[in-house]
């Protein structure tokens, strides 16, 4: 299970959203590039960047800053927030982003979503915000859709989604548990990676997420941010738990250590970041096989 570190950007700063409302944003760092590099140095496998100005107001002033973050780190970076057109998808991928995260557009215009996936295969991740009854909300949790997670996953999977990020609407991530049953259902329904994006309370929640399995598949990742900022655990503690969980994974005749060592040697022979991303995806796939 991959570790995604979240970097929320608002007005050029890294911020924390206690309850998902940008009006309550708490400044964390006026240098998001440095914060992103810190996550990576501590062991994050991926970065998930949310452009809050673009998401809430259609203001794209943070895009150059996000490009700087992508250039400054050596892990895959996915970017979401205000992605409502082919032009923005191309712009973000042109920055060097690994993947683009789309939310509302995937629900309200599935024809456009299919076309984006045709033009950019395996590069579009869908973010789904779900209520306890699995109804999906859009436009920053402000609008009900009457559409539920099961049908959305099936439709969007057939439309070419590269993966799914699932967030629980209104849940206090530091006080209430993830929707484990909902995440298990998602893993059962689709072959694409499912990422738990709503946060966790502690390492026990992480262990329960790692235990989710359906049809031989497991969760593809977990997104963390405020849990670490709030002192619930460190990135180093979390990576140790994730590594321990992989000890029993089957990699054929190789150990995970063998694969990681081989990947490092391979990285020294190529300059193409897409090759490294493909290798990383292959190792992740092998661990789930």
21 and 114 inside one domain:
yes
223 and 277 inside one domain:
no
Q: Which whole number is the average pLDDT over 95-102? A: 96
Q: What is the pLDDT of residue 261?
A: 64
Tell me the residue range of the domain where 272 lies: 249-289
**Alpha-carbon span 115 to 104, nearest angstrom:** 15
Q: What is the pLDDT of residue 166?
A: 97
259 and 279 inside one domain:
yes
Q: Are 36 and 7 in contact (CB under 8 A)?
A: yes
126 and 83 inside one domain:
yes
45 and 138 inside one domain:
yes
108 and 193 inside one domain:
yes
128 and 269 inside one domain:
no
Q: What is the pLDDT of residue 26?
A: 84
Q: Are 228 and 199 in contact (CB under 8 A)?
A: no
Q: How confident is the model at residue 25 (pLDDT cuts 50, 70, 90)?
A: confident
| Number of domains the chain contains | 2
270 and 134 inside one domain:
no
According to DSSP, residue 82 is labeled S
pTM metric for this prediction: 0.82
**Alpha-carbon span 148 to 130, nearest angstrom:** 8
Q: How confident is the model at residue 91 (pLDDT cuts 50, 70, 90)?
A: very high
128 and 22 inside one domain:
yes
Q: What is the pLDDT of residue 200?
A: 95
> Residues 108-125: pLDDT tens digits?
999 999 999 999 999 999
141 and 229 inside one domain:
yes
21 and 131 inside one domain:
yes
């Amino acid at each position: 299970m991959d570790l995604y570190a979240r970097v929320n950007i608002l007005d050029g700063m890294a911020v924390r959203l206690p309850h998902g409302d940008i009006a309550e944003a708490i400044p964390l760092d006026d240098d998001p590039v440095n914060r992103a590099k810190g996550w990576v140095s501590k062991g994050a496998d991926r970065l998930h960047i949310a452009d809050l100005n673009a998401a809430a107001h259609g203001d794209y002033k943070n895009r150059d800053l996000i490009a700087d973050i992508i250039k400054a780190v050596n892990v895959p970076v996915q970017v979401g927030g205000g992605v409502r057109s082919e032009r923005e998808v191309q712009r973000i991928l042109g920055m060097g982003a690994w993947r683009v995260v789309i939310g509302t557009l995937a629900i309200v215009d599935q024809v456009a979503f299919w076309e984006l996936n045709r033009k950019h295969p395996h590069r579009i991740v869908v973010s789904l915000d779900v209520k306890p009854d699995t109804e999906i909300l859009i436009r920053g949790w402000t609008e009900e859709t009457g559409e539920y997670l099961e049908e959305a996953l099936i439709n969007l999977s057939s439309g070419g989604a590269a993966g799914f990020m699932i967030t629980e609407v209104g849940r206090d991530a530091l006080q209430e548990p993830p929707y484990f049953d909902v995440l298990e259902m998602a893993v059962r329904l689709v072959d694409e990676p499912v990422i738990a994006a709503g946060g966790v309370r502690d390492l026990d929640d992480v262990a329960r997420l790692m235990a989710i399995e359906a049809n031989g598949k497991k969760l593809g990742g977990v997104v963390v941010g405020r849990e670490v900022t709030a002192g619930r655990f460190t990135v180093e503690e979390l990576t140790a738990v994730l590594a321990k969980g992989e000890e029993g994974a089957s990699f054929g005749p190789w150990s995970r250590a063998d694969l990681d060592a081989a990947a490092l040697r391979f990285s020294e022979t190529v300059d193409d970041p897409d090759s490294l991303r493909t290798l990383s995806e292959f190792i992740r796939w092998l661990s789930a096989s």
